[in-house]
Copies of this chain bind each other. A is one copy, B any other.
Amino acid sequence: MPIRRRSASPKFRPLASHPAPTRLTLRGQSVLVRCGPLAGPEPLRFPLHRGRSVTPQDLRTRHPEHFAKAAALRVLAMDAVEAANSGHPGMPMGMADIATVLFEKHLKFDPKAPDWPDRDRFVLSNGHGSMLLYALLHLTGYDDMTLDELKNFRQLGSKTAGHPEYGFAKGIETTTGPLGQGLGAAVGMAMAEASLSARFSPRIVDHHTFVFVGDGCLMEGISHEAIGLAGKQQLSKLVVLWDDNGISIDGKVSKSDITDQPARFRAAGWDVFECDGHDPAAIDAAILSAKASAKPSLIACRTHIGYGAPNKQDTAGAHGSPLGADEIAAVREIYGWSHEPFVIPQDVRDAWAAIGAQGAAARTAWEERLEGLGKRRREQFDRIVAGELPKALTNQIRNFKSEQSAAAPKVATRKASEMVLEVINKALPETIGGSADLTGSNNTLTKDMGTFEPGNRNGRYVYYGIREHGMAAAMNGLALHGGVIPYGGTFLVFSDYARGAMRISALSGKRVIYVMTHDSIGLGEDGPTHQPVEHLAALRAMPNLNVYRPADVVETAEAWQCALETPDRPSVIALTRQGLPTVRTRHSTKNLSAQGAYILSESTAKRQVILLATGSEVSLAMEAQTQLEAKGIGTRVVSMPCEELFEQQDDRYRARVLPRGPVRIGIEAALRYGWDRWLTGERGSAAKAGFVGMESFGASAPAGDLFKHFGITADAVVERAEALL
């Protein structure tokens, strides 16, 4: 059933409207066991929790073919961890039955076309169980996941890193390991699907997002934000399978948590199903129910960590270290698995290969449907899936810059960002914007975007709520899914709340654009808790992330252009609350910000001073230049909107912008931390250097008072320069 029809149905069914528990007959099988929607509010988990699962011996007898396939996953995981002498066998052994049923009966995928845009997404949020994923990719026939890769688990240069790393191998949909991130990203993937399905019809985009999560994922705060967002958005094609094994690293989960997870998910607007996570029929039925639900679904799968390990099953000992030779031998006996490590018998190999081959027909049929889409729409689909920008954009931004250079408005860069977003959002139907409940402050909403919500999947603006971390993670998922370009706003200071997910953006190398306003003490009265002083440094310290701090409306447009034209990196665009004069009053066709730093204003007298500034302090440097030049002190102003891009320039360019001789002063309404590099350090070269900026947390007062109080003024710059000369 296509999502649009679903989302057009009444938005919120009352939470108590689950059908009463029933026995189901599915796929011609009688479903024997505890599966079906949960009834009522009773805390389900504790009374039912342990000890009723199918034992390995029973499972082997009752479902021999299933058991063999799942055993292959389990043994590969166990053996690879043993070979590496490092890793996590417990989760793959616990979730192998679920994975087998999911891949065999539900997951739409084709290992021969791993980038098929309409594939189901499979996310392993409990990423420490990475061997489960690697084993699945290997057995179903992903070319680059060879047996040698499995044997080289956790070794230098292998694709089989300790935790799944996006880009290392096909079929790894996102980088996971830091708990909860996969769940958060999956929400974004499901949002991307809903958006594209509305835009291109369910004939072209109609897939599920399946997520494996552990107790850790569900305890992390990010899970709350992700679940709340998914619940509000009623993402019916999102199915979360919870490895409810009752064990965390410190022992029983109950040592630290008594949360009734099913009740919690229902409270957030989800449907909840449950099953014995070792009973293939029950798993299958639960997934069927979840897929049929009009809400996002949690399937609580009761499992045993380290399933079948006689001494370690159901203990933290199975979680994060090799089982050891004796235990492995005992498991082999229980599984009836006599093969050497990494040897999979041909019949099991064939069975898994058949599973891997199942999706080819659907994929071919999809390609035919895509062919029928019509040339224009087909081209647009191909373009956005490839992540390419429309050719017209360059000119449109150039024109915008030209107009603004001429008009030279005094506007806050957050407002400038809104102005350029008006251009961008019109040119790029693939942008999906939003804010963590600061829309009017972040200036992230432009005309005619519409609200993305259950009743309007054509809307392109997301009210993320007060969920910075969840927003960042969802944006990772949007970008990873492809076909959309996400941007989202909050205050720069709250990058602290989102940092866990921002690091995933950087590790994954995806085009996620963070609009972070109120970027200094310039925000004024809200005070120290809201004033970033260390955040620029903390973000610049992160590899693979470009941090822009534009000085005016023109640089803001250039920053946006750079961010959009960098498909392999996330960007932060730090923007002011306060108004700033236009410093780029002479129009340059070229994107000067793309060089990271450039000469904004040259000295007229003999050059004795270079002022190196960013963002709101560039206009202050210009004032200081005027004063210094009036005193006969030749002064150059260099604007550095993005130090990461300046770093990428060649030595000659850098030396031209920042020659060795003159006194050099860095100016930024933030801490000096990290700045010495550009003054006398690695990339600096000045004999004498100073810095005008913050030395502590901020204070609560009107912005003008604060700049004076903290000595970030043109006068202070002039004084510093004179003292150094």
Contacts and interface: CB of A to CB of B under 8 A. Distances in A.
B496 A440 contact: no
B676 A676 contact: yes
A679 B496 CA distance: 28
Contacts of A568: none
A544 interface: yes
A503 B697 CA distance: 10
Nearest to A177: B529
Given A538-B541, A700-B154, A267 B264 contact: yes
A603 B25 CA distance: 81
Contact of A681 (B229, B249, B257, B677): B677
A684 interface: yes
Interface stretch (A107-115, A422-430, A479-487, A520-528): A520-528
Interface residues of A, number: 122
Name, among A248, A437, A699, the residue most crowded by chain B CB atoms within 10 Å (CB to CB).
A437
Contacts of A219: 225, 228, 437, 465-467
B15 A156 contact: no
Interface stretch (A201-209, A655-663, A666-674): A666-674
Interface string A187-228: 000000000000000000000000000011001111111001
Contacts of A251: 463
A74 interface: no
A335 interface: no
Interface string A484-510: 000000000110110110011011000
A125 interface: no
Interface in A685-716: 689, 691, 696-697, 699-702, 705-706, 709
A132 B225 CA distance: 28
Name, among A540, A542, A684, the residue most crowded by chain B CB atoms within 10 Å (CB to CB).
A542
Interface string A315-331: 00000000000000000
A293 to B, nearest CB: 16
Interface string A151-179: 00011111001110100000000011111
A525 B705 contact: no
Contacts of A269: 258-259
B154 A525 contact: yes
A521 B229 CA distance: 35
Contact of A534 (B215, B257, B542, B697): B542
A64 interface: no
Contacts of A255: 451, 453, 463, 465
Contacts of A500: 494, 496-497
A16 B44 CA distance: 11
A543 B537 contact: no
Contact of A267 (B260, B679, B702, B709): B260
Contacts of A411: none
A84 B526 CA distance: 11
A156 B709 CA distance: 8
Contacts of A43: 14-16, 267
B700 A691 contact: no
B493 A496 contact: no
Nearest to A158: B700
A674 B537 contact: yes
Given A264-B267, A440-B249, A525 B84 contact: yes
A240 B126 CA distance: 32
Given A16-B41, A154-B527, A249-B440, A257 B465 contact: yes
A249 B438 contact: yes
Contacts of A696: 543-544
Name, among A16, A231, A466, the residue most crowded by chain B CB atoms within 10 Å (CB to CB).
A466
B177 A530 contact: yes
A439 interface: yes
A162 B525 contact: yes
Contacts of A41: 15-16, 40-41, 263
A474 interface: no
17 contacts: A163-B700, A165-B700, A178-B496, A220-B225, A221-B224, A224-B224, A229-B256, A248-B466, A249-B441, A250-B435, A259-B268, A540-B673, A541-B673, A541-B674, A543-B696, A672-B682, A674-B674
6 closest Cβ contacts across the A-B interface?
A221-B221, A676-B681, A256-B465, A41-B41, A224-B224, A177-B529
Interface of A: 12, 14-16, 40-43, 84, 86-87, 127, 154-158, 161-163, 165, 175-179, 215-216, 219-225, 228-229, 231-232, 248-251, 253, 255-261, 263-264, 266-269, 435, 437-441, 451, 453, 463-470, 493-494, 496-497, 499-500, 503-504, 506-507, 524-530, 533-534, 537-538, 540-544, 671-677, 679-682, 684, 689, 691, 696-697, 699-702, 705-706, 709
